[in-house]
Amino acid sequence: MKKIKINVFSENLFKDIDIDEKKFINIAKKILRFYLEKIFHKSCLNSFDFNTLSFDFLYCSSEKTHEINKEYRNKDYPADIITFAIFADSEEKFVFDGEINLGEVIIAVDKVVEETIKKGTSFEHELSFLISHGIMHLLGFDHQTVEDYNFIVEMQRNALDGLGL
């Protein structure tokens, strides 16, 4: 596969925890490169000509994901992660000047902290796990069946293992 430029933008609205955004942008880029190497042929990117991929992360509270869920998804509960897969979910796939905007991943940081406590894992691991999950959705993978869910989780574990997380 040819060399792809990856642009990741990040904003932390959750002011209770200082997130090393640069670190997690680098983790996200590594995860995406792993997925491109392993499952590009199964992704929404297959058969498109591009040289740049872009996507956004928004870190916020579960109150904010609850609002977003209600407004955009007609679901009345807070989520740990919400993904708006602009490219994957679009009827008309749009490549502008060689760049594909994959979409946005919204993560509730307080939910990450809850999972860290519940599972006895690190904040870095739990946040990276959600980042990897969001990227899978941006690439067009969903978990409507048990088989699809198991595939996504396996790919996430492989990506994080490859990073030593």
pLDDT at 165: 79
Range 46-50 average pLDDT: 93
pLDDT score of 1 more than 70: no
Q: What is the mean pLDDT of the chain?
A: 94
Largest pairwise CA distance in the chain: 45
pLDDT at 144: 86
Q: Where are the domains of the chain?
A: 5-163
pLDDT score of 2 more than 80: no
Range 38-55 average pLDDT: 95
List C-alpha distances in Å: 48 to 72, 75, 83, 88, 90.
Answer: 28, 33, 21, 12, 14
Residue 116, Cβ neighbours under 10 Å: how many? 16
Question: What would be the CATH architecture of the domain defined by 5-163?
Answer: 3-Layer(aba) Sandwich (3.40)
**To which H or E segment does residue 10 belong?**
strand 5-12
Residues of the chain with pLDDT > 90: what percent? 90
DSSP secondary structure letter of residue 71: H
pLDDT at 102: 98
Alpha helices for 40-108 (secondary structure H): 62-73, 86-89
- Is the distance from CB of 109 to CB of 19 less than 8 angstroms? yes
| pLDDT tens, position by position, 81-121 | 999 999 999 988 889 999 999 999 999 999 999 999 999 99
Write down the pTM of the prediction. 0.94
| pLDDT tens, position by position, 105-164 | 999 999 999 999 999 999 999 999 999 999 999 999 998 899 999 999 999 999 999 888
